[in-house]
Structure 1
Amino acid sequence: MSKEFRFGIVAGLAPDAAAWRATARRAEDLGYSTLLVPDTLRTLPPLLAMTAAATATSVLRVGTFVLAAPYRNPRLLAHELAGLYFLSGGRLEVGVGGGRADARQDAAALGVPYGTAGERVAQVRSVIGEVRAAFADSRTAVRRPGPPVLVAGAGPRMLALAAEEADIVALAVPPDTPEEGLRAPVGILRDEAGARFDDIELSMNLLQVGDGPPPWVPEGLRTTSADAAAVLRGSPREMADTLLRRRDELGISYVTVNGFFADALAPVVDLLAGR
């Protein structure tokens, strides 16, 4: 049975605190389910930004997209996330991964080891374990069920971990991956998860909505393949039909997009959210 569509905005910058709160309220007004904050040294500190966003809204969920496990203390992080869960009234999603493309540089700037791919997968598992434990500990102020856990990945090792532990899996494929290229990671996840696969919510992040590339893409890289799955073009109805077909064929029901395209995707959100 197909899951209902949800939509999220990924954002992590604002000129001032008032603008950040306005971003959160705008996301809520447009019908987005979540405001997701990246974990980099060039964006707002995610847990602080999420707390501010939660206090400015009433139903919007807040989440990380995604926390880089290599430079986080798992037990301290779980304690802070438990506090954020409490302060947000339970409107929290915990996204975690092994680190984005530039995470190695951030780890070096923070003075912490980045580790091998295998070590980073183990660190993701450790973060998830500590988060689960924080909500099972009778000595804390929070209780189960706790927040859903999102794992971002596309490689076999991370997908195997996600199949075992995640509530949500974000397909972290390169932005020029064609739609056909989504089948392999979904297939790995299905094989690894077995009967649990139907309980997992599948997610994908859009790089672009419409014909104009995002402004942060370097000039020489602005030509995106016409069949890139991360680019959504056409009328709102045509874009909605594309997402409906992907849900039917691949199970992807949770769609996220950079805040720059929040208004461009809003008509699609209106057509599909909760359906």
Structure 2
Amino acid sequence: MADNQASGGTRPFRFGVVAPLRTDLPAWRDQVRLIADCGFSTLLMPDVQQWQPAPGPTLAVAATLADLRVGTWVYAAPLRMPWSMSWEAHSLSVLTEGRFEMGIGTGRPGIEDELRELGLPVETPGERLSQVRDTVTALRELDGPDLYTPVVMAVRGPKALALAADLADTVTFAAWPGDTRATTMRLAADFRAVRDVELALHVPVVGDAVAPFMTPPDTDPAALRAADSLLILPSDPAAATEEILRRREDGGFSYFVVGANAVDALAPVVAELTGH
């Protein structure tokens, strides 16, 4: 079990990029190297069969291309047996020499249809949470005393939040349409009252650019700005820097995850804030 004691203090910033392999392989390799050169700490893969090669081998390749951490953003627990998911996560930690972090959740909205198409059981939310717990438990057993794979959990409801308080090293809150700044900040404050861990923000929109694979393509940046949503950042580096600092001050968020299409816009921000 992860340490449940509050660490205190201000966590340093780090930045991750969701960058599935959707181009030819040489172009994607160049993209991975660019992400590292721009100072981003972590390269992340979604877990959707139709979008890219499987996360495990893709992340193993990415880790050989640059000095980056790699991770899943996030494994959908219903798609695999816990022993299979934990074995893959442990193997990635071994192969990357400790640079892998396992992101895991109970599945995005609409995953029930995908489960039916794959011939997999459609289980209840409670059963999916049990799969998450079983996966992390099996991962800790495989890691043993000499390896520790960080666990990132995407959560929302009270039972998921309670499980994250027991198991997670990093927590991100699954967003709902219409979530305002106040809503997300309240989730952060309530969670931090129970346990102080790294808090991550999933930010699929920078300026007017919507990141593929992080949010529906019909997402309206103007509507997010009107709602004062934390799903969007300004494209202007100075404004983005100010906003990111505010989000850490007000909510404790120190890990920001964006799409690959935002790398150039946020590179100056990452250079200024990483590690501070």
Given that 1:5 and 1:253 are in contact with CA atoms closer than 8 Å, whether structure 2 keeps it comes out as yes
Query: Aligned pair 1:201/2:198, yes or no?
Result: yes
Deviations, residues 139-185 of structure 1 (Å, cap 9, x unaligned): xxxx5332210000121111111111100001212264221111222
Query: Aligned pair 1:134/2:142, yes or no?
Result: yes
Matches within 5 A, 1:67-216: 67-136=75-144, 144-174=146-176, 176-193=178-195, 197=196, 200-214=197-211
Deviation of the 1:238 alpha carbon: 1.6
Deviations, residues 41-76 of structure 1 (Å, cap 9, x unaligned): 22221111101101112x200000000111211112
* Structure 2 CA distance for partners of 1:126 and 1:232, relative to 1, 3 Å: same
Any idea what SS the aligned residue of 2:138 has? helix
The farther-off stretch of 227-236 and 215-224 is 215-224
* Structure 2 CA distance for partners of 1:176 and 1:13, relative to 1, 3 Å: farther
Given that 2:106 and 2:132 are in contact with CA atoms closer than 8 Å, whether structure 1 keeps it comes out as yes
Any idea what SS the aligned residue of 1:264 has? helix
Query: Aligned pair 1:9/2:17, yes or no?
Result: yes
**Partners in 1 of 2:33 and 2:101 — Cα distance?**
18
One-letter code aligned to 1:186: A
RMSD of equivalent CA atoms: 1.9
* Structure 2 CA distance for partners of 1:135 and 1:26, relative to 1, 3 Å: same
**Partners in 1 of 2:141 and 2:177 — Cα distance?**
34
**Partners in 2 of 1:230 and 1:207 — Cα distance?**
6
User: What TM-score, normalized to structure 2?
Assistant: 0.89
Deviations, residues 189-242 of structure 1 (Å, cap 9, x unaligned): 12433xxx2xx1000111211134447854585642321211111521221111
Any idea what SS the aligned residue of 2:255 has? strand
**Partners in 2 of 1:13 and 1:175 — Cα distance?**
27
- Structure 1 stretches lacking a partner, 5+ long: 137-142
- How many pairs were matched up? 263
One-letter code aligned to 2:223: T
One-letter code aligned to 1:155: G
Identity %, equivalent residues:
38
Any idea what SS the aligned residue of 1:225 has? helix
- Structure 2 stretches lacking a partner, 5+ long: 1-8
Query: Aligned pair 1:255/2:246, yes or no?
Result: no
One-letter code aligned to 1:84: L
User: What TM-score, normalized to structure 1?
Assistant: 0.89
Any idea what SS the aligned residue of 2:149 has? coil
One-letter code aligned to 1:49: T
Any idea what SS the aligned residue of 1:158 has? helix
One-letter code aligned to 1:269: V
Given that 1:85 and 1:147 are in contact with CA atoms closer than 8 Å, whether structure 2 keeps it comes out as yes
Query: Aligned pair 1:46/2:58, yes or no?
Result: no
One-letter code aligned to 2:34: R
Any idea what SS the aligned residue of 2:98 has? coil
Query: Aligned pair 1:19/2:27, yes or no?
Result: yes
Given that 1:175 and 1:207 are in contact with CA atoms closer than 8 Å, whether structure 2 keeps it comes out as no
Given that 1:176 and 1:230 are in contact with CA atoms closer than 8 Å, whether structure 2 keeps it comes out as no
**Partners in 2 of 1:68 and 1:265 — Cα distance?**
28
